[in-house]
Amino acid sequence: MRSNYIEVLSNKVEIPIIQRDYVQGRTDSKTNKIRKDFLDALFDFVSHKLTDKNAQIELDFIYGFSEVESDNKTTFVPIDGQQRLTTLWLLYWFVSVKENVLENEINFLSNFLYETRHSTTEFFRNLIQFKPKFSHEKISQEIKNQSWYFETWDFDPSIQAMLIVLDDIELRYENFNTKDIWSAIGNSSCPFYFYKLDMDKVGLTDDLYIKMNSRGKPLTEFEYFKAGFAEIISDSKQRKRFEESIDGKWIDAVWHIILHSGSLTDEDDIALTVDNSFLNLFNFITSVISFKNELKDKNDNRYKNTVISAELLKTIYSDKENQNFLFDTLDAICKQEQEYPQFWSDLFYYNKDEFATSKTRLFFNHKDTNLLKRCLFSFADFRGFTLPEQILLLACLTNLKMPSNIFNDQIRVVRNLVVNSENELRETTLGNSFSEVEEFVLSGNLQVLKTFKTDQIEEEKEKDAYFKQALADKEILQKLEDSDILRGSISLLPLDNKVKNRANKFLEIFDETDFIQDFQTKINLLLSFGDYTQDDGSLTNLMTSKHRNIRSFLTTPGYNKSQFKTKTQTIVLACLDYFITNNGVAISQQIEDNFLEYTTNPKDWKYYFLKYSSFRENCNQGNFNWYSDSDYCIWKMKERQFNGYHWDPFLYELSKSNTKLEFENNYGSKLVFLLNRKKILISSIPNGFLFENGMTDRSLNTLLDELVSIGKIDNDCKFIISQNSNKLDTEDRIEKLQQTLNGIINGQND
């Protein structure tokens, strides 16, 4: 059907949600040329029309569907032709306000509606009412100066494109040779003709649109989502709720978060970022529903996103309860952003100096308190937004929907659980974890928590019971929980009448920063009070300066930490109690006093670890292996396996201080002593060191025989260390062997 532009707009014309943005105002070179050529053609034709009143111009086909509204009026929904229709509308609007055309002649302009974005829709509604004064500034600037123009519209690509086109129209109008263009284009004089094709009437499907749209910018996932999601919803009220909110308050809330995120660059397409961010949030909420209800597609795959899981999406949201979960969550986010934008910074913190009882410390590397923003930017990569973050965000969103008056305490419990349930958090049980946290926030009942680490769940119950009868201790214990070393797990300190003083002293002595920076001092302090170690299979762990190892060592015991209470906790408590009683004693003084006791006491393995820092060097995980029933037969492990680097720590210290001593390799080899081309191998034994021939021809190794003959080693080639009846050294074996070897090297055989 051949119709002119005004005839097309005699009924409503609505640019649908699925359409892409208006692009003819973009500033890239290709679009600049397209816009210039099109506007030049329009104005050239208008000039011709002024001399030939019968002149007409055809602007090709426009395709679309006709929809009958409740008042029996028809709305045309163009699928192809959006760019031409919009540019002509801008031309007609500009000429009408410039030439003060009567209202009854421009009523048709009100029939052109944009539904691609809520902001674009509002822009059109305001523009149709606007009567510019045409001051010396550009028309675009005059529009931007209006009170109804929102700052966020500067980031709507369609609106910005329209403003650029209006400036170009104004420029051409000012250079035109007449100021009565309306007479050539208005009313019955309208010369712009289209072939308007109703696709439904001729039996075409919307598949044709995909083919036609391939000529322009491909539709984004968000545009497909908006167009298709409403079709899933059968209830008219629910559908209306979605359609009014998706390009209204929901997307506006995301716009607000993104614009104030500080994460955008000049190169970012802000509108596309907002669209993708909304989809990330939608996919997170949908993923929660999918996990909670164990919903999978026919191939047993879980929900991923709106594209990969399109069929599963229909299954999920055919359920009205799931629709309401989504809608209510998004509504709650909108309310929070509008009424309480500082919600996240009031709830969470990272810097230890910002501790407050109303806040809970987070320990994520990204240092962002706004977990909602994290979801918006990162959920596209499931692992980019971690399971602990997802559970914490769900807890917060649950509270936004149904506020709890004890939520500050509840979110702290959830933090403690997710941080200390690293092995328990997995996709196979994630649905239960989501459901339990939801129910916990709604009810406050700790009994519903089952899928997290059992030890941590029990600790949370114990703390809850303790606070009911010792509320005064709550603040210091929360501060203890927020230590980067403990991260919510404080089972190291029993909940009794000593816990407050012990907690204060722990935070003083084992400050999270000092512990790592001055690790040798802190660990020697513990060692000065006794054996704090923990066995792990055949290995014994003595801790390292790595944060992860320290935290694992001092927090909730697991299956491989049976000595947590019998050794580690006992020593830590003894240390804390000593300094509570002896408040004026310095840490260095305690270590020194303990070490001086070895002057008269036997020198057990702790003595050597206290004296020689090399015993811990290159021991990345703190693992040692005592391979004999002796304090002195030890392997220092670089990691955990014997097929990796490992050394005898006594020999390791000797090799550091004598150039004549070296290891053949780093895999548990004996120490090589080279002197005058004679080679001796040295290894540790419970009561000293064993000397062995290291040469191919034993008869040539006269050094070994000489050492026996002068009594430096016995007839079995053993270098014997004096020990007491408990087989503990009464002299420093490293010092004694070093002195002996130096004497041999210097030719001093006495």
* pLDDT tens by residue, 328-341: 999 999 999 999 99
| Assigned token pair, 735 | 């010092």
Same domain, 214 and 250: no
pLDDT of residue 220: 66
**Of 623, 482, 602, 605, the residue nearest 546 (C-alpha):** 623
Q: What is d(CA 396, CA 192) in angstroms, rounded to the nearest whole number?
A: 56
Q: What is d(CA 343, CA 148) in angstroms, rounded to the nearest whole number?
A: 28
Whether the Cβ atoms of residue 606 and residue 529 lie closer than 8 Å to each other = no
**Upper half-sphere CA count for residue 511 (Cβ side, 13 Å):** 8
- Find the angle CA(269)-CA(387)-CA(334) to the nearest 5 degrees: 50
Same domain, 25 and 71: yes
Alpha-helical (H) ranges within 99-156 are 118-127, 139-144
Interacting residues of 330 by C-beta distance below 8 A, sequence separation 6+: 245, 250, 253, 281, 285
In a domain, 322, yes or no: yes
Domain boundary (341, 367, 401) is at: 341
**Token pair 């190169």 in the structure block, residue:** 267
Whether the Cβ atoms of residue 483 and residue 512 lie closer than 8 Å to each other = yes
**Of 86, 87, 150, 90, the residue nearest 114 (C-alpha):** 86
Q: What is d(CA 642, CA 679) in angstroms, rounded to the nearest whole number?
A: 26
Q: What is d(CA 482, CA 505) in angstroms, rounded to the nearest whole number?
A: 15
What is the length of the chain?
750
Same domain, 206 and 244: no
- Span 455-476, average pLDDT: 97
Same domain, 213 and 224: no
Least confident stretch, 131-140, 189-198, 432-441, 686-695: 189-198
Same domain, 82 and 208: yes
Rg (CA), the chain: 39
The answer on pLDDT for 215 being more than 80 is no
> In which element (H, E) is residue 436 found?
helix 427-443
Whether the Cβ atoms of residue 332 and residue 400 lie closer than 8 Å to each other = yes
In a domain, 409, yes or no: no
Whether the Cβ atoms of residue 576 and residue 509 lie closer than 8 Å to each other = yes
pLDDT of residue 60: 78
- Span 518-547, average pLDDT: 95
Same domain, 227 and 215: no
**Of 158, 104, 168, 84, the residue nearest 127 (C-alpha):** 158
pLDDT of residue 210: 45
- Span 486-491, average pLDDT: 97
Q: What is d(CA 334, CA 341) in angstroms, rounded to the nearest whole number?
A: 10
Q: How far is CA 340 from CA 263, 337, 347, in A?
A: 21, 6, 11
> In which element (H, E) is residue 623 found?
strand 623-626
Domain boundary (163, 194, 219) is at: 219
Pairing mode of beta strands 74-80, 12-15: parallel
The answer on pLDDT for 517 being more than 50 is yes
Provide the angle, in degrees to the nearest 10, between the axes of the packed helices 427-443 and 387-401. 30
Name the phi and psi angles at 576, rounded to 5: -65, -45
> In which element (H, E) is residue 327 found?
helix 320-339
For the beta sheet containing 688-693, the strands, ordered from the edge strand earlier in sequence to the opposite edge, are 661-663, 671-675, 678-685, 688-693, 718-720
| Assigned token pair, 622 | 């703190």
CA 513, 515, 520, 522 torsion: positive or negative?
positive
- Span 118-124, average pLDDT: 85
pLDDT of residue 15: 85
504 versus 267: the higher-pLDDT residue is: 504
The answer on pLDDT for 504 being more than 80 is yes
In a domain, 66, yes or no: yes
- Confidence band, pLDDT 50/70/90 cuts, at residue 542: very high
Name the phi and psi angles at 495, rounded to 5: -85, 85
> In which element (H, E) is residue 15 found?
strand 12-15
Please give the DSSP secondary-structure letter assigned to residue 725.
T
Domain boundary (341, 357, 378) is at: 341
pLDDT of residue 205: 47
Interacting residues of 309 by C-beta distance below 8 A, sequence separation 6+: 297, 301, 303
Least confident stretch, 222-236, 247-261, 284-298, 606-620: 222-236
* pLDDT tens by residue, 63-87: 888 887 767 788 888 887 888 999 9
pLDDT of residue 200: 62
Provide the angle, in degrees to the nearest 10, between the axes of the packed helices 236-246 and 249-259. 30
* pLDDT tens by residue, 278-293: 999 999 999 999 999 9
Name the phi and psi angles at 264, rounded to 5: -90, 150
Whether the Cβ atoms of residue 245 and residue 232 lie closer than 8 Å to each other = no
Q: How far is CA 240 from CA 17, 438, 618, in A?
A: 14, 28, 65
pLDDT of residue 201: 58
- Confidence band, pLDDT 50/70/90 cuts, at residue 207: very low
Of the chain, the percentage scoring pLDDT greater than 90 comes to 70
Report the domain count for the chain. 4
End-to-end, the C-alpha distance of the chain in Å comes to 119
Whether the Cβ atoms of residue 155 and residue 123 lie closer than 8 Å to each other = no
Q: What is d(CA 489, CA 480) in angstroms, rounded to the nearest whole number?
A: 9
**Of 223, 306, 198, 307, the residue nearest 20 (C-alpha):** 223
Alpha carbon 29 to chain centroid, angstroms: 38
- Find the angle CA(280)-CA(430)-CA(374) to the nearest 5 degrees: 30
Same domain, 540 and 672: no
- Confidence band, pLDDT 50/70/90 cuts, at residue 194: confident
* pLDDT tens by residue, 298-323: 999 999 998 889 899 999 999 999 99
Residue 619 burial by Cβ neighbours in a 10 Å radius (0-12, 13-18, 19+): buried
In a domain, 556, yes or no: yes
Same domain, 165 and 192: yes
Phi/psi region, residue 487 (left: phi>0; alpha: psi -120 to 50; beta: rest), is left
In a domain, 351, yes or no: no
Whether the Cβ atoms of residue 96 and residue 103 lie closer than 8 Å to each other = no
- Span 636-640, average pLDDT: 95
SS3 636: strand
**Of 392, 331, 396, the residue nearest 363 (C-alpha):** 392
Same domain, 641 and 581: no
Q: What residue numbers bound the domain in which 633 lies?
A: 613-745
- Find the angle CA(535)-CA(538)-CA(544) to the nearest 5 degrees: 50
One-character DSSP codes across 269-296: -HHHHHHHHHHHHHHHHHHHHHHHTT--
* pLDDT tens by residue, 678-715: 999 999 999 999 999 999 999 889 999 999 999 999 99
In a domain, 417, yes or no: no
Least confident stretch, 225-239, 304-318, 351-365, 409-423: 225-239
Same domain, 680 and 708: yes
Whether the Cβ atoms of residue 338 and residue 252 lie closer than 8 Å to each other = no
Same domain, 202 and 224: no
CA 481, 482, 485, 489 torsion: positive or negative?
positive
In a domain, 741, yes or no: yes
* pLDDT tens by residue, 17-72: 766 678 777 777 767 778 888 898 899 889 888 888 888 888 877 888 888 776 77
Same domain, 128 and 20: yes
Whether the Cβ atoms of residue 389 and residue 430 lie closer than 8 Å to each other = no
* pLDDT tens by residue, 2-20: 889 999 999 999 988 766 6
Name the phi and psi angles at 661, rounded to 5: -115, 135
In a domain, 403, yes or no: no
